[in-house]
Amino acid sequence: MKKRNEKKWTPWEKTNYVEELVEIIGQEKNDAALAEKLSVYHENDIAEAFELLDESGRQKLYRVLDTGWISEVFSYLDDVGTYLGELEADAAADIIENMDADDAVDALQEMDDTVREKLVSLLNEEATEDIELICSYDEDEIGSMMTTNFIQINRNLTVKQAMKSMVAQAEDNDNITTIYTTDDEGILYGAIDLKDLIVAREYVPLEDLISTSYPYVLANESITENLERLKDYAEDSIPVLDKEHRIIGVITSQDLVEAVDDEMGEDYAQLAGLTTEEDLDETVQQSMKKRLPWLLILLALGLGVSTVVGMFEAVLTQLTLIVFFQSMILGMSGNAGTQSLAVTIRVLMDEELNGVDRFRLMWKEMRVGLCNGLLLGCVSFICIGCYILVIKRQTMLYAFSVSGCIGSALMVAMTISSLMGTVIPIFFNQIHVDPAVASGPLISTISDLVSVLTYYGLAWALLINVIGLTN
């Protein structure tokens, strides 16, 4: 690890390297001196500084950094296509050739068709084949996110031969932490930890170093369905195999982090009633197409809520005051349902969850909703009763009858909403539909329906028909 001689590091110090880099790039005029100063910084920090520079500053970096270095920096950038467009076609093609195949594919997809075709025509045969291989898989398949940056050796080599083969391949492939072994037909046999290979004696059979039960995935398998399983292994890389079980790529830990991030983004979008995550480049028509189906469903349910409210017109006429507290009950029941939903989706990520566990979850969430509703109902009973008694100047019977109805409705609505927030995602999970899709707005609308029925039903039954309250 290189040291910065110009200042002393202290344990509590946290340096803003990006700001440092922007200043250095702007001030240093000598290319050789600039390259020397940049060499002690991580490529991710250089990438962040890169995005803050104007084109003249970026051109300086293009001149100072070699192709391999720029490729490393570009692998951390989001909008690589734009920056590649600032270079001559030959220089851009050289950078793409030096990038991992999955990063190269991402960069090319950001470009115009004409520019992309021109750059692909300039790539060498190996880079072209790797890119075509990754592009041959759908975006929801594991093959679309793999990299061809890995090392493989024959299982029949000696330790010395294996080390020599690994060193020879390491010049072009730097994912060397795990070395994969194959048989004579190229079929995956197992994996070797680099540390074990380094410390092994020459006379030790290579077979003794190979883990033959190493995890793997098939290229055409679903990313979503395998994400949790891959995370559980916590390996630096996982081999990706074709249908004949020949290794064609690997999934790195960084790929998994990005996949998890994408999955969380999609889940967040689905919680808002969208089918997929949107971006700024989508047209109005594309965004409308994603949102409209759910909005139509929610409109129908909303009309149902309004219809239910209309059924209790007599209650609204005779007890106008209760309308003021409707939004509170709707909001609290919706919040309770959403909380149960979040817990349920997280629990459902465990694929080994059985029927008993699901029942326990429903029973638990219903009890949580009941207890919270009971507590908040009691608070509402006291506070709202005092408010109506003092501020609205109503009788004690009137005030605490209304507040009692509100408190009871709150308790019942929160209990049922908590149960619905658990039952609905479990149901959708059972019929093999992503539970996140059937969440958010749907739960809220159902909670509204339950709350309206409970609130006005209790008001009609207890306040008007039993106690006989009116305005």
What are the domain boundaries of the chain? 17-141, 152-271, 284-467
Instruction: Give the pairing type, strands 188-193 and 247-252.
Output: unpaired
Cα 23 to chain center, whole Å?
34
3-state SS, residue 431: coil
Average pLDDT estimate for 431-456: 73
Q: What is the rounded average pLDDT for all residues in the chain? A: 80
The answer to whether the CB of 71 falls within 8 A of the CB of 102 is no
Residue 68 pLDDT greater than 50, yes or no? yes
Q: Write the single-letter amino acid at 411.
A: M
Q: Worst-scoring range by mean pLDDT, 47-61, 330-344, 425-439, 442-456?
A: 425-439
Architecture of domain 284-467: Orthogonal Bundle (1.10)
**What count of Cα atoms within 13 Å lies in the side-chain half-sphere of residue 188?**
28
Q: Which residue has the tokens 């409705």?
A: 409
> Cβ contacts of residue 319 below 8 Å, gap of 6+?
402, 459, 463, 464, 469, 470, 471
List phi, psi (to 5°) of 141. -100, 150
pLDDT digits (tens, 9 = 90+) for 314-323: 676 777 777 7
**CATH code 3.30.460.80 for 152-271:** no
Average pLDDT estimate for 373-387: 90
Residue 54 pLDDT greater than 80, yes or no? yes
> What local confidence, expressed as pLDDT, does residue 263 receive?
58
| 108-117 own/partner pairs: CB under 8 Å, 24+ apart | 108/81, 109/81, 110/79, 110/80, 110/81, 110/82, 111/81, 111/84, 111/85, 115/85
Architecture of domain 17-141: Alpha Horseshoe (1.25)
Tell me the whole-structure pTM to 2 decimals. Answer: 0.54
